[in-house]
Amino acid sequence: MFGMTNVKSISLPLASHYKLSDEESPKTVEEQHYMDDLLDVNIVGSILYVMVCMHPNKTYVLSIVS
């Protein structure tokens, strides 16, 4: 998705105030396809990715806009 199939992967530490659990993840194939079709989830994920990888001044603007 988004043309990033051949990029180098890196690990990013998650802030300590984020609490993720297995209960929130899709468990069936139907749920996974449903999540793939949610455009807003993909957009938010893309914005978060850009915010992590950009300069702080651009990150600030993105946080205000989003």
Over residues 36-60, the mean pLDDT reads 75
The answer to whether residue 37 sits within a structural domain is yes
**Residue 27 pLDDT more than 80?**
yes
Domain assignment of residue 53, given as a range: 27-65
The answer to whether residue 10 sits within a structural domain is no
Tell me how far apart the alpha carbons of residues 19 and 27 are, in angstroms, rounded to a whole number. Answer: 18
Number of domains in the chain: 1
pLDDT-based confidence at residue 14 (cuts at 50, 70, 90): low
The answer to whether residue 22 sits within a structural domain is no
**Residue 19 pLDDT more than 70?**
yes
The answer to whether residue 17 sits within a structural domain is no
